[in-house]
């Protein structure tokens, strides 16, 4: 029997990440983390910071006493989490995904001992979620790392990062054993072009070929994730590991076979992360891709044994938009997408494509036959406060249309674990480090310069989502 209602135990929830919400950047023994180096970039989306940074740019940011760095303040979740979790409980969510800031646990990454204050902070947060009947999902690396690691090791470019990361994950997984069951070792592991500095930490002046360096860094990260996957099961057989990508899946621009093949090749390059992390080996097409570009990713024969540990339990997906490519555009590795005349875009140029979500869920299930967890979806928008209220029907419509397609995917027979909206409380945007790109159903009174009371206000979408959850998706 095909079940076309959401399953009874469906995990409705929300997702955020440490570096976009916590603030308290220099408190609790925390080291400096890469996102702490980013200034507000609204209106400057073409800048390459985030994507690539040089050693000098890192040092400049470390010494900058004048500019405003929004991640350093976030929405002060570090202090406000008990009240915020109360609001999330009122919303009715069953599950919440957040990340652990690596630099709170190992301030320099390679310290001999973990920082107990950091561990205790996350223990308190996790306990607070559990106390409120909310299942925590923990991301171990979400576009951040202690700044010492890029400066001393060139980030993931160095194989020395592998044991450093594994030790950090082991420390955390042992500490929260029995409290956390869903782990995401790396957020959106396929996003290596747009967020490469935050993700991989390779200073662009330290390597000869930046593109080759990204794939080499990725290979090291993949090896670390495979070891973490194995370790997670040893620590607690109940642990479930998710291999997560963000949707970069592309449609062909036309039905010209050359465009269709271009889309296939483009998508293979996005899926190879999942191929390795669920099947335990690289697909042949990627070896060909590296060979044809003369990329040396530092692959050793002995890596094969480690890659075999790559057996994730589920696929994690974040979905915001779809892409379109053609034969010519895919040769631009950095930015292969082209305009799709059938789709509208949001104010940041992200296409709005609810059917694309169903398309992708089907494609991923056909390919991997593993349960899928929708770990992020949502709409970034400029909200306006009118007499203390936020009437965000655009967000309600967006979420409704996406959840309708999710329900269709359940009807298609795909086992979907849950759906987590990004981000139930407004937080600092990742790509532009601004507050004005808001996703929440709860408004936060802070502006792009960090001014405001920090007060939380429920938007219209809060009440709508609350109803969706309480009816298990019957009322969309
Ligand atoms: C996802 C990231 O790719 O997109 C989040 O995991 C991010 O960290 C989200 O916030 C939305 O992107 P942005 O740039 O609008 O904040």
Instruction: From 371, 370, 393, 389, select the one nearest 381 (Cα to Cα).
Output: 393
Region for residue 280 given its phi and psi (left: phi exceeds 0; alpha: psi -120 to 50; beta: otherwise)? left
With a 6 A CB cut-off, is 376 part of the ligand 1 pocket?
A: yes
With a 6 A CB cut-off, is 318 part of the ligand 1 pocket?
A: yes
Residue 203 in this model has a pLDDT that exceeds 80: yes
pLDDT at residue 127 in the model: 98
- Residue with the smallest CA separation from ligand 1 atom 12 is 430
Measured from the Cα of 431, ligand 1's closest atom is: 14
- Among 1-10, 354-363, 389-398, 453-462, the minimum mean pLDDT is found in 1-10
3-state secondary structure the chain: CCCCCCCCCCEEEEECCHHHHCCCCCCCCCCCEHHHHCCCCCCCCCCCCCCCCCHHHHHHHHHCCCCCCHHHHCCCHHHHHHHHHHHHHHHCCCEEEEECCHHHHCCCCCCCCCCHHHHHHHHHHHHHHHHCCCEEEEECCCCCCECHHHHHHCHHHCCCHHHHHHHHHHHHHHHCECCECEEECCCCCCCCCCCHHHHHCCCHHHCCCHHHHHHHHHHHHHHHHHHHHHHHHHHCCCCEEEEEEECCCEEECCCCHHHHHHHHHHHHHHHHHHHHHHHCCCCHHHHHHHHHCCCCCCCCCCHHHHHCCCCCCEEEEEECCCEEECCCHHHCCCCCCCCCCCCEECCCCCEECHHHHHHHHHHHHHHHCCCEEEEEECCCECCCCECCECCCHHHHHHHHHHHHHHHHHHHCCCCEEEEEEECCECCCCCCCCCCCCECCCEEECCCCCCCCCCCEEECHHHHHHHHHHHCCCCCC
With a 6 A CB cut-off, is 426 part of the ligand 1 pocket?
A: no
Which residue among 245, 352, 382, 422 has the greatest number of ligand 1 atoms within 8 angstroms of its CB, and so is best to mutate? 422
pLDDT at residue 333 in the model: 86
- Among 32-46, 80-94, 326-340, the minimum mean pLDDT is found in 32-46
pLDDT (tens digit per residue) in 108-133: 999 999 999 999 999 999 999 999 99
* Mean pLDDT taken over the chain: 95
pLDDT at residue 44 in the model: 59
With a 6 A CB cut-off, is 422 part of the ligand 1 pocket?
A: yes
With a 6 A CB cut-off, is 190 part of the ligand 1 pocket?
A: no
Per-residue pLDDT band for 3 (boundaries 50, 70, 90) equals low
Residue 473 near residue 403, CB atoms below 8 Å: yes
Measured from the Cα of 348, ligand 1's closest atom is: 15
Residue 283 in this model has a pLDDT that exceeds 90: yes
- Residue with the smallest CA separation from ligand 1 atom 2 is 430
| Stretch 95-119: mean pLDDT | 98
pLDDT at residue 2 in the model: 54
Q: How far is ligand 1, taken at its centre, from the CA of residue 322, in Å?
A: 15
Region for residue 451 given its phi and psi (left: phi exceeds 0; alpha: psi -120 to 50; beta: otherwise)? beta
| Stretch 364-381: mean pLDDT | 97
Measured from the Cα of 350, ligand 1's closest atom is: 15
With a 6 A CB cut-off, is 187 part of the ligand 1 pocket?
A: yes
pLDDT at residue 50 in the model: 67
- Residue with the smallest CA separation from ligand 1 atom 7 is 430
With a 6 A CB cut-off, is 437 part of the ligand 1 pocket?
A: yes
Q: How far is ligand 1, taken at its centre, from the CA of residue 115, in Å?
A: 28
pLDDT at residue 48 in the model: 57
Q: Which residues are catalytic?
A: 188, 376
Q: How far is ligand 1, taken at its centre, from the CA of residue 429, in Å?
A: 6
- Residue with the smallest CA separation from ligand 1 atom 4 is 430
With a 6 A CB cut-off, is 380 part of the ligand 1 pocket?
A: yes
Residue 1 in this model has a pLDDT that exceeds 80: no
Which residue among 142, 376, 420, 427 has the greatest number of ligand 1 atoms within 8 angstroms of its CB, and so is best to mutate? 376
The model's pTM: 0.96
Kindly report the number of other CB atoms within 10 A of residue 50's CB atom: 23
pLDDT (tens digit per residue) in 4-42: 789 999 999 999 999 999 999 999 999 999 999 998 876
Four-residue CA torsion sign, 28, 29, 35, 41 = positive
Q: How far is ligand 1, taken at its centre, from the CA of residue 255, in Å?
A: 32
pLDDT (tens digit per residue) in 414-462: 999 999 999 999 999 998 889 999 999 999 999 999 999 999 999 999 9
Measured from the Cα of 188, ligand 1's closest atom is: 6
pLDDT at residue 193 in the model: 83
Higher-confidence position of 333 and 419 = 419
| b/e map 425-435, b = 16+ CB within 10 Å | bbbbbbbbbbb
Measured from the Cα of 432, ligand 1's closest atom is: 14
With a 6 A CB cut-off, is 246 part of the ligand 1 pocket?
A: yes
């Amino acid at each position: 029997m095909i079940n076309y209602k959401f399953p009874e135990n469906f995990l409705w929830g929300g997702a955020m990440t440490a570096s976009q919400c916590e603030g308290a950047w220099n408190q609790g023994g925390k080291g400096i983390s890469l996102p702490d180096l980013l200034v507000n970039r609204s209106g400057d989306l073409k800048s390459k910071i985030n994507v690539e940074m040089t050693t000098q740019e890192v040092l400049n940011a470390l010494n900058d006493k004048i500019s405003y760095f929004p991640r350093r303040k976030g929405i002060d979740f570090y202090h406000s989490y008990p009240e915020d979790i109360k609001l999330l409980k009122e919303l009715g969510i069953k599950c919440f995904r957040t990340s652990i800031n690596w630099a709170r646990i190992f301030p320099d990454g390679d310290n001999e001992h973990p920082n107990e204050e950091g561990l205790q902070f996350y223990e308190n947060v996790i306990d607070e979620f559990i106390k409120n009947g909310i299942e925590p999902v923990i991301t171990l690396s979400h576009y951040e790392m202690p700044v010492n690691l890029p400066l001393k090791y060139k980030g993931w470019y160095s194989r020395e990062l592998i044991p450093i990361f594994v030790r950090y994950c082991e420390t955390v997984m042992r500490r929260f054993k029995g409290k956390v069951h869903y782990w995401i070792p790396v957020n959106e592991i396929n996003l290596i072009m747009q967020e490469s500095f935050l993700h991989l930490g390779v200073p662009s002046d330290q390597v000869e070929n930046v593109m080759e360096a990204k794939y080499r860094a990725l290979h090291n990260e993949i090896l670390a994730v495979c070891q973490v996957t194995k370790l997670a099961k040893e620590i607690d057989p109940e642990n479930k590991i998710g291999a997560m990508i963000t949707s970069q899946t592309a449609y062909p621009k036309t039905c010209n076979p050359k465009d269709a093949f271009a889309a296939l090749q483009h998508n293979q390059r996005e899926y190879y992360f999942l191929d390795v992390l669920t099947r335990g080996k690289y697909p042949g097409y990627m070896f060909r891709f590296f060979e044809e570009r003369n990329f040396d990713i530092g692959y050793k024969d002995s890596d094969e044994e480690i890659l075999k540990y790559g057996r994730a339990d589920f696929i994690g997906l974040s979905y915001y938009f779809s892409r379109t490519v053609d034969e010519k555009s895919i040769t631009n590795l950095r930015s292969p997408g082209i305009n799709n005349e059938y789709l509208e875009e949001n104010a940041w140029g992200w296409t709005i494509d609810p059917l694309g979500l169903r398309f992708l869920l089907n494609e991923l299930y056909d390919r991997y036959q593993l349960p899928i967890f929708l770990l992020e979806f949502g709409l970034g928008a400029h909200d306006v406060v009118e007499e203390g209220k936020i009437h965000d029907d655009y967000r309600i419509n967006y979420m409704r249309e996406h959840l309708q397609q999710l329900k269709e995917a359940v009807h298609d027979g795909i086992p979907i674990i849950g759906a987590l909206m990004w981000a139930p409380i407004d937080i600092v945007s990742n790509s532009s480090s601004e507050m004005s790109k808001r996703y929440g159903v709860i408004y936060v009174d802070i502006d792009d310069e960090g001014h405001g009371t920090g007060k939380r206000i429920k938007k219209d979408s809060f009440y709508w989502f609350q109803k969706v959850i309480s009816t298990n998706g019957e009322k969309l």
